Amino acid sequence: METTRRFFVGMGAATAAMGLDQALAAPAHASMAKDKFWVAAVTPCDKSYNFDEGAYRDLLSWYKANGADGVLVLGTNGEGPSYSVAERKKIAEFALKNKMGLDMIVATGTANFNETIDLSQHAAAIGADSVLIQPPFYFKNPTGDGVIRYFTTIFDKVRTPVRYYHIPQVTGVPAGLKVFQALAQHPNFIGIKDSHGDPAEYEVIANGLPARLNIISGTDNNMPAALRRGDGVILGSGNVYPKYVAAIFAAHRAGKDLTAPLAKMARATSFMEGGDYYNPSAIKYTLSLMMGNLGTTFTRPPWTEIGEDLKAKIRKGVSQLKAMG
């Protein structure tokens, strides 16, 4: 059974101790289990749009307590492109200092390779497990050779594992299998987060790349396919349904049939249908109800506060989730 909804959801003390040159020379992280459940975390901010450290710490505790293996910091749901380079470094440092045993992927992509390299080197220096980088998203439909050149320029400067963030409906960059096969020649390239959500394309990409690569699903509908391959997920829906996703992964690792936990996840997501429940504003409002202590539901422009009709639907959905247990 498959779920069918898609949710779209990558210098502090460590730098001082290690030094940037040493971080660049360090080998890629060895602990790269592929079948992990990462939450595409939101980024709390206050009414002045400043990063809210206390609320973020509460979020990390929520993810950990509900069975997540890791967190994607500053991805799409984390509003990464809405923060400056300096702010992104500060948020990444805070996440790594408060990781609570969670595997940390930091989204470091920007519209230019110099800032992307800077953020990626910084993530490596503070101990990120890997980085997630989308292609440059201002110039639409670049050639495959252009995308390869962009990423190999980054690979040559960054000594930490890199995942490609495939979300062409946002970036306007429809990179395909040939591009990924070329990137796979570089040892720093460890996989893809596929948030396009097309099942046929996911299978083409996954079957056409070396088995060492981690082809992560960024949408719920491709989670069963990822699990069959022994790969993981990075889900925006993991903010709202972490314990149900964690239960699916627990059954998978135990070699058990996935029908029951997948059905429970499908039922849970059915409570949040008929509205835009999975943008950062809606996720934050939902979390405020589920956690009871998320201090802020603000998002940076261009996101706005959700309307009263959607809030009422979310309140009803959360009530149903709590009753389901």
Residues belonging to the active site: 76, 138, 165, 193
Prior bond of 302 cis (ω within 30°): yes
Long-range contacts of 180-185 (CB under 8 A, 24+ apart): 180/205, 180/208, 180/209, 181/208, 181/209, 182/144, 182/148, 183/148, 183/151, 183/152, 183/155, 184/209, 184/210, 184/213
DSSP single-letter state for residue 134: P
- The 10 Å CB-count burial string (b at 16+, else e) for 237-266 is bbbbbbbbbbbbbebbeeeeebeebbebbb
162-166/214-217 β-pairing: unpaired
CA angle (247 as vertex; 60, 319 as ends), nearest 5:
70
* Contact between 173 and 141 (Cβ < 8 Å): yes
Q: Would you give the DSSP letter of residue 89?
A: H
Side-chain-facing half-sphere of 71: CA atoms under 13 Å:
30
Q: Please state whether beta strands 233-235 and 70-73 pair in parallel, antiparallel, or not at all (unpaired).
A: unpaired
Closest CA to 202 of 169, 224, 235: 224
Calpha distance 5→237 (Å, rounded):
10
What is the Cα–Cα distance from 16 to 56, expressed in whole angstroms? 24
Q: What is the C-alpha R_g of the chain?
A: 19
E strand segments, 111-212: 130-133, 162-166, 189-194
